[in-house]
Amino acid sequence: MLAGKKIILGVSGSIAAYKAALIVRGLVRAGAEVRVLMTQAAADFITPLTLSTLSRNPVISSVHTDEGWNNHVELGLWADAYLIAPATATTLAKLAHGICDSALVAVYLSARCPVFFAPAMDVDMWLHPATRANVALLQSYGNHLIDVESGELASGLNGQGRLAEPEHILQRLEDHFGDQPNQTVSQDLKGRRILITAGPTFEDLDPVRFLGNRSTGKMGIALAEAAAARGAGVELILGPTHLSTTAANITTTPVRSAREMHAAALQRWPECTDAILCAAVADYRPETVATDKIKKKDGELTLSLVRNPDIAAELGNNKLADQRVVGFALETENGVENARKKLLRKNLDFIVLNSPRTAGAAFGHDTNQIQLIDRNKVTAFELKTKREVADDILDRLAADKPTP
């Protein structure tokens, strides 16, 4: 999948910069053409000569040199993908806020290709709210996170923050190009803009505890990628999960709580033709969130819960004639009856029913088994991969073409 691809590798000043040599070698062996950008700090950890020798191209560390100007705009247009690995906390902040003081950031701001960033730093730096906010901001721009891995760090601590292993980074790029639409994929959703909610929501009890569920976001991400492959623009609102998507034409908005997901959905809904509400949204949240950790005491603990806003009902009961809303129902008993009641109450166009009691279905699995229910009929499907399930759902949505 990487043969013939044009890849920019941006290297910033982390001890993990030595792994850039392995990344470049892997890309070249796979048949990719590689251009390397380095920050000045990166050269303290690995020499430009090493990376230019492996990539068979000059390494760029400045927009202008004694020999002339390195055209960052031209380079940004040249690439099929831009990979920044390792990305330090400083580099993440500069990318997120457009601080253009290096060739690495200048090319990023000029790039029209998909951008992947693979952070590397110590555990406390990775978990700091400032870093988390910068990562979320970069993802909200449509960039793709290659998540950190856990293990021994340069500080001697153990935890999250290690640069993803080179083979994992290369596999992520392989997966990205393997998922790209080709001429055999139907473009029957071209012109549609689809809002998709995915993953769980977390409702905080105190600074360290929350109410949540076992949703991973796999089904919603499969829907987003399948819809994008079929020509749709996708607004993906994604609850807390370690998963992300690398597909083009998907704008990801990370959220944590039901109210954050509700606000994001309402903001984007007027610009969308369809909504597929796949997220496992918490129905209730604590009435109050403790400012300090709740201490264990003798006796029972009683929590007072209040209702969260109902995203499906709000969108379904306020949709326009040319908008479609698809809901999900996870039921353990009386599935069809309960799902149809939900469909009618929330004014949905159809609803996807599944059950956690079906072997290989629902949370955490790569497969699912569903029934599609509308006001007139129930259509049942066998157990399939979640990507195949996504296409079954989208087939039904594509058949129901909105009237302009």
Q: Which residues are catalytic?
A: 213
What is the rounded CA–CA span in Å between residue 351 and residue 335?
A: 11
Tell me if 293 is assigned to a ligand binding site: yes
- The C-alpha atoms of residue 366 and residue 360 are separated, in whole angstroms, by 8
**Bridge partners, residue 239, by sequence:** none
* Per-residue CA distances from 210 to 218, 288, 289 (Å): 21, 12, 10
DSSP per-residue codes, 130-197: HHHHHHHHHHHTT-EE---EEEE-TTS-EEEEEPPPHHHHHHHHHHHHHTS--TTS--TTTT-EEEEE
**Enclosing H/E stretch for 285:** strand 284-286
DSSP helix/strand/coil, 81: strand
Q: How far is residue 141's CA from residue 127's CA, in Å, rounded to a whole number?
A: 21
- Enumerate the β-bridge partners of residue 210: 204
Task: Determine the Cα–Cα distance for residues 318 and 321; give it in Å rounded to an integer.
Answer: 10
Residues 119/387/273/193 CA torsion (nearest 10 deg): 40
What tokens appear for 170 in the block? 């290369």
Phi, psi at 103, each rounded to 5°: -60, -35
Tokens standing for residue 142: 């449509």
Count of other CB atoms within 10 angstroms of residue 130: 12
**Structure token digits, residue 347:** 């004014």
Query: 328 labelled as ligand-binding?
Result: yes
Q: Binding site annotation covers 346?
A: yes
What is the CB-side half-sphere exposure of residue 276 using CA atoms within 13 A?
Answer: 33
342 marked ligand binding residue: yes
User: Is 319 marked as binding a ligand?
Assistant: no
Angle between helices 19-29 and 48-55 (to 10 degrees): 10
DSSP 237-284: EE-S-S-----TTEEEEE--SHHHHHHHHHHHGGG-SEEEE--B--SE
Residue ranges of the binding site for CTP: 283, 293, 328, 342, 346
